[in-house]
Amino acid sequence: MPLPAKVSGLESICFDVINHDSSTRYIFAYRPPEFTFLGCEHMSLLVECLEFLCVVNYSVVLLGDFNIPHINLETLATPQNNVHNAFLNFCVYNGLHQFVDEPTRGDSCVDIVLSNDQYIIFS
């Protein structure tokens, strides 16, 4: 099924790995580091796209650089702004587990590896 036209300009790619006993959907995405009105709009479209792509009956792995450096998906702490809140709500709603548990740039975790199957990645 093709993506809705309004999300076609996003920087993302998705593919499924299907075999006889299990399947996994991989989604790679990038969000520019903007927190202006345009940044909020971009995150809103990205979340809409990810919601669309996560509707499968098997494991999903979401990877990328979302430029949301102050989000803590372990404690669900985030600054109160539309960019961080939209992504946090998406993660909670979809039961996504964050595998990167230490800063990847300075004191911030900008690289994200999430899955709806917390046992899919071992190390």
In a domain, 10, yes or no: yes
The contacts of residue 12 (CB under 8 Å, 6+ apart) are: 27, 28, 29, 30, 46, 49, 64
Q: How many separate domains does the chain show?
A: 1
Going by the DSSP 8-state scheme, the letter that residue 56 receives in this structure is: S
**Host domain of residue 38:** 5-115
Instruction: Indicate the length of the chain as a whole number.
Output: 123
pTM value is 0.86
| 14 assigned to some structural domain | yes
Output 121 or 28, whichever has higher pLDDT: 28
pLDDT score, position 92:
93
Task: Average the pLDDT over 71-94 and give the result.
Answer: 88
Averaged pLDDT, 69-73: 80
The bridge status of strand 59-65 relative to strand 11-18 is unpaired
Q: In angstroms, what CA-CA distances link 83 with 13, 36, 69?
A: 21, 9, 11
What is the structure's pLDDT at 70? 81
Q: Is residue 24 part of a domain?
A: yes
**Residue 121: inside a domain, yes or no?**
no
The CATH number covering residue 63 comes to 3.60.10.10
pLDDT at 44: 93
Classify residue 123: in a domain, yes or no.
Answer: no
- Is 111 a domain residue? yes
Distances in whole angstroms, Cα of residue 77 to Cα of each of 37, 72, 81, 111, 112: 22, 5, 12, 17, 15
**pLDDT above 80: residue 106:** no
**pLDDT score recorded for residue 105:** 59
Q: Is residue 120 part of a domain?
A: no
Structural domain contains residue 108: yes
Query: How much of the chain is in helix, strand and coil states, percent to nearest 5?
Result: 25, 30, 45
Asked if 62 and 53 count as a contact pair (C-beta separation under 8 A), the reply is no
